[in-house]
Every structure is written in C-alpha cells, then in structure tokens.
A and B are shown apart, each in its own frame.
Chain A
C-alpha cells in the first residue's frame, strides 16, 4: 500500500514538473520594448555617428554617463562573491590556491573571489607591516 501511495505521489510530482513549462516560452513584448527603449535610442545614435563611448561623451554626455565603460570587467559584483572562496584567499591562500584557483570544478566567480580575498589579505598585511614599522 505504501508503495502504491509513493508511486502515486511520485507520478503526480513528475507530472507537475513535466508540465510546469506551459506558458514559459511566452515573451512579454511590451516589457521587452520598455526594457531596451533607452539602449535602442543610444544604439541608433552610436550607429549613425559611428561613435566610441569617448566620442559619444562629447556629443551627448548625459546619454554616455548612463553607459558602462568596460562591460566585460563589470560582470562581477559583490552579489557574485563566493565568501568561502574569498576566505580561502584571505586566510590561507597557499592551500586555497589548490582548493579553488586551479580546481576545475570551481566557477569563475569562485576563482575571482579567491583572488580578491588573497589581494585583500596582501594589502591589509602590507598596511599592518608598515604600521608596525612606524
């Protein structure tokens, strides 16, 4: 009896999971247009003038100010910090190097968190040493 009940609930769960995607493939076109309205306008201006960001700053400083100047470098934010990896870098980077930095199972955010932790440790260590010497 228990088996039958379990099978029923397992089947019901799998049914729910399998059909949970109905409607997930709908795109809200209005929201999409609203989301990119500003960027589409900037894009049109850049396309027309064949500008770089520096040239756009001269042409339209307000528009240029809303744009990121180095997007690939800004993909990482404090929200992406993996504090465990940070701790490895901060507290014990020689072991953390093997546990995080060259570990293929760790993702880029974890590796970057490790290096940030290590950098902070080095900077604070240097400040402490200078302070101690004075």
Chain B
C-alpha cells in the first residue's frame, strides 16, 4: 500500500473535501466539479492523485466515470499514530548514539577517569554525522 501517497494526497484541502463528498456514495467527475466550483481539468488532477494513492477507485458507467471511496488506505490513515511511533524510535536511537558517543563527555558523566583534566564542555559536541532524517 503506497502510504506515502496517502498522506501527500490528504495534504490538499480540496482532495479531503472530495473524499468527504464520496463518503455518501460514488459520484461522477462532473458532479464533483460542480460541487467544488473547479474546472474539470483541476478536478481530474485531484482525482488522479487520490486514485494514485489508492484512496478512490474509478468505475466506468456508460459515458461517465464514477469515483468510489476506497476503504483500505483510509484505515491506514486512521492508524496515523504509527508513523509517530517509528519517528520516536528513531529519535531515541539518535539520542542514545549521541549520548554514548565519545565526543559527548560532560563533566557530570561520573566516570571521568582523570579528575585533573579539564572536563570537556558541551562545546565538544559530536558533529552531526548520521542524521539521515532531516527532522
């Protein structure tokens, strides 16, 4: 399931409204265009994004195409805390790596081998190296 596209698709207010409109049943592209005072091409573009994300499905009926809400990706969005959990695990890992790194040896570390040596101040921070996530 392309969850990336689910969140990206939901980021747009018009697309969220389209989804809400489809909760009551399938609608044709033309009906959707009428509801949102948008040009047909603009609506088609939004529908394409939603379809690509697997949020809606398309059904040809005669000369028209109807759009249905697809349930599965939305269920995934309902479970929207899951990404946060992954996020925090990665942050905690980053904190551990940082705190345990040799460069981070604050004076209060307790296990400082030589008391006479000047304790490295917090300026002695490890330069960011392995920050793969720009968060």
**Do they bind each other?**
no
